[in-house]
Structure 1
Amino acid sequence: MHIPFSASPRTSLGIEWELELVDLQTRQLRGAATEILEEFAAKVGDQDAAKAKHELFESTIEVITGVCDSVPQALADLTGTIDVLRGLAERRGIGLMCSGTHPISEYNAQAVSVNDRYYRLVDNMQWLARRLLIFGVHVHVGVRSKDKAFPIVNALMSFIPHFLALSASSPYWLGRDTGLASSRSKIFESLPTAGLPYQLTDWPQFERFMETLVTSGTIESIREVWWDIRPHPNFGTVELRICDGLPTLQEVGAVAALAQCLVDQMNTQLDRGYTLPVPRRWVVQENKWRAARYGLDAEILVDERGNTRPVRAELADLVDDLLPVAHRLGCAAELSDIPAIMNAGASYERQRSVARRAGGDLSHVVDTLLEEMNTGRLV
């Protein structure tokens, strides 16, 4: 099976941000995506209509940037789209917010978007698909050749706990505290083609693997492989899908900067003849669990001998290491937001703090998430 890869000539950037449509009276999710998207398309015209689209449920809209050169450009792109959507939503008594899960809404109350692909997904996956009331941020970073795609995917697996701990925002599920920092990551990986990627050696092995999945009827197309990190052949990118939904533009910028800097550094290392490290899968799996459970308080494995280190310290060192790359890419300010975000607390920490002050009333958590989305910054 031949899978062409549209190589990116530079370390370009694209961001996808899955937003919740929230009734401002009930604080529950509300299915209004179709009418909002129809009005959005009429307002912005054909060229920009694709910047907002349906997701699985009618209570979700995904906002998508174009191909951007820098994190500030991508954030400006997102802002322009969200400003239009916010006005259309507010006229309907709806607010926009983002978190890995909605604190109180139930999946069985959500209408599936009118789309044959989504209908097939629900028919095939049944309960696993019906409970996918989850929201994430996906970051695409350009890769200069298909030969680099899997070395970079494999090397990026070492940083799964860093991205997940920083973005964890789904402590609540169906109105209850799960005890996890990120319940979304555990819900999503229950799909048979989601979760940690297979550590494939090169592009031909990926083509053979995809051919097996398609021939066997496991998937219809490679779009149905939802790994935490995956190559995207059409865009010529590596796509990081591990992050929970992030409430603020500042946090989106921080994880986008981290992703772009890491991939750019790896691109350069490969150009210079370096061999990128491939972590042991059992180490990655354990570290993903630790980040999902403990978030920024996780102690993650740093080698195969069982030595551990706080993920906060790992993130702080990573920011320092990548700052020269960030200055070159024009995202030093966004990368430097990571320590400030850690000091303010990841979203799961902030949500629990609000819930404690409100005596467990999670509607106050929803109000705070709506406010954070509107403000756009924590610090």
Structure 2
Amino acid sequence: MNEANRFGIEEEYFLSDAGSRGIVRKVSPKFFAAVQDAFPDEVQREMLQSQIEVATPICESMAQARHSLSTLRKGLAGLALEHEMLLLACGTHPSAVWSRQRATEATRYDQIMRDLQMLGSRNQLCGLHIHVEVKDEDERIRLMVRILPFLPLLLALSTSSPFWQGQRTGLMGYRLSAYAELPRTGLPELFADAADYRSYVETLVAAGAIKDASYIWWAIRPSDKHPTLELRIADSCTRLDDTLAIAALYRCLIRHLQRRRGLNAELTPAARAIAAENIWRAQRYGIHGGLICGESRTMRSVPSLIDELLGDLADDAAALGCKAELSHCRTLAAKGTSADVQLAVFEEARARAGGQAAGLAAVVDWLASETRLDGVALSPGWQPAMRGAA
């Protein structure tokens, strides 16, 4: 396989208390020691102690990515249970309260928290990040701009954050609304060329505003560490099949844009503004509200847009060996995302048990079972099987 098609996936997860179903404020060092023993290279801590991130190795096939992420999810979820915690893949925790969070002690995170102040504590959000290799730096920067109109679809298919601070938000993807409080987020600007982008970064670094380009947190960005273009707009996907579908769609889009050099080559400020409006619509409605088509000046349904796009990407999917994963995008567009299931679980449990807390607890249980890949919800009287003297 052509090396330019290589990719990697990063997933962020919440650590939830298995008894209360609430967030974990402080995680036992024994848990992190066990994680380090089991996954010395694939797992790292996040800015808040209630979060953890995994990363696949460099992958050349979707089968490699599936094997890596399923191993990581099952292994981490098992270790979490042994330490009385649940592992949750979702954009926001259904009931967590940001003011009760503790930051992870690390030099980088200490610096970020000093800069962001309260906004750092409110960054109780988990995303899905997908890296696709594009070796030429100038090409990465051009692709970053050209792919902007497709980002709302990628967000709509990933929505998994309908709750915030124990409340229904009315949005399918609230995560980006909270994330937008941070500086250097949202859509990148329409840089004239690669030199224009580099001038922007170099100016911020020289002035002391940021240490390096890793402090730029746009919805898509050239990676500061790898020769990749990093997608960051997606919520952390609860179901592994959803993660792989979005990864396949993103990979195919990168290849498609590289083959069709004229597509979105002259993106206008108006087109960027329409993309921003569509991102809002994806946040608000997920797959249900429709997105604005600039060419026809009409509202198009997400299923129809996905169906048309997947037809355009058929050759790319065949070349990349990801037809099955890409086709799952149609299922997502037709049957719903994690946010749809969370809301259905919440309403059913609230009606049955008669309360908001019961509904939120049921959502946490569903998230945990899907993240573990076993589909088994914990019973209310669950007790962990602790390992030795741990």
The 10-residue stretch of structure 1 (171-180 or 35-44) with the greater mean CA deviation from structure 2: 35-44
Instruction: Name the structure 1 match of 2:31.
Output: 36
CA distance in 2, matches of 1:288, 1:161: 5
Kindly indicate whether residue 281 of structure 2 is the aligned counterpart of residue 290 of structure 1. Answer: yes
Structure 2 matches for 1:10-159, cutoff 5 A? 10-30=4-24, 31-32=26-27, 34-44=29-39, 49-159=40-150
Task: Report the CA distance shift for 1:186/1:304 in structure 2 as closer, same or farther (over 3 A).
Answer: farther
**Percentage identity across paired residues of the two chains:** 33
Q: Residue 195 of structure 1: SS of its match in structure 2?
A: coil
Kindly indicate whether residue 343 of structure 2 is the aligned counterpart of residue 352 of structure 1. Answer: yes
Q: 2:204 aligns with which of 208, 213, 236?
A: 213
CA distance in 1, matches of 2:274, 2:150: 11
Contact kept in structure 1, 2:222 and 2:230, CA below 8 Å:
yes
Q: Residue 181 of structure 1: SS of its match in structure 2?
A: coil
Q: Residue 10 of structure 1: SS of its match in structure 2?
A: helix
The 10-residue stretch of structure 1 (127-136 or 261-270) with the greater mean CA deviation from structure 2: 261-270
CA distance in 2, matches of 1:332, 1:187: 34
Task: Report the CA distance shift for 1:303/1:25 in structure 2 as closer, same or farther (over 3 A).
Answer: same
What TM-score, normalized by structure 1, do the two folds share? 0.91
Structure 2 matches for 1:160-199, cutoff 5 A? 160-199=151-190
Q: What's the CA shift string for 1:96-141, capped at 9, x where partnerless?
A: 1111100001111121111121122121111221100001100000
Q: 1:232 aligns with which of 208, 219, 223?
A: 223
Q: Residue 286 of structure 2: SS of its match in structure 1?
A: helix
Runs of 5+ consecutive residues of structure 1 not aligned to the other structure:
1-7
Contact kept in structure 2, 1:170 and 1:184, CA below 8 Å:
yes
Contact kept in structure 2, 1:18 and 1:98, CA below 8 Å:
yes
Contact kept in structure 1, 2:140 and 2:222, CA below 8 Å:
yes
Contact kept in structure 2, 1:250 and 1:337, CA below 8 Å:
yes
CA distance in 1, matches of 2:80, 2:253: 36
Shift of 1:225: 0.1
Shift of 1:268: 2.5
Shift of 1:306: 3.5
Instruction: Name the structure 2 match of 1:324.
Output: 315
Runs of 5+ consecutive residues of structure 2 not aligned to the other structure:
351-355, 376-390
Q: Residue 171 of structure 2: SS of its match in structure 1?
A: coil
Task: Report the CA distance shift for 1:33/1:299 in structure 2 as closer, same or farther (over 3 A).
Answer: farther
Shift of 1:332: 0.9
Contact kept in structure 1, 2:127 and 2:234, CA below 8 Å:
yes
Shift of 1:50: 2.3
Kindly indicate whether residue 267 of structure 2 is the aligned counterpart of residue 278 of structure 1. Answer: yes
Contact kept in structure 1, 2:112 and 2:120, CA below 8 Å:
yes
Q: 2:360 aligns with which of 356, 362, 367?
A: 362
Shift of 1:341: 2.3
What TM-score, normalized by structure 2, do the two folds share? 0.89
Shift of 1:353: 0.9
Q: What's the CA shift string for 1:137-181, capped at 9, x where partnerless?
A: 000001131121122111211111101111111111001111111
Contact kept in structure 2, 1:54 and 1:61, CA below 8 Å:
yes
Q: Residue 147 of structure 2: SS of its match in structure 1?
A: helix
Instruction: Name the structure 2 match of 1:248.
Output: 239
The 10-residue stretch of structure 1 (198-207 or 28-37) with the greater mean CA deviation from structure 2: 28-37
CA distance in 1, matches of 2:329, 2:42: 27
Contact kept in structure 2, 1:161 and 1:311, CA below 8 Å:
no
User: How many equivalent pairs are there?
Assistant: 364
Contact kept in structure 2, 1:134 and 1:184, CA below 8 Å:
yes
CA distance in 2, matches of 1:245, 1:123: 26
Contact kept in structure 2, 1:132 and 1:188, CA below 8 Å:
yes
Task: Report the CA distance shift for 1:203/1:349 in structure 2 as closer, same or farther (over 3 A).
Answer: same
CA distance in 2, matches of 1:261, 1:305: 24
Instruction: Provide the alpha-carbon RMSD of the alignment.
Output: 1.9
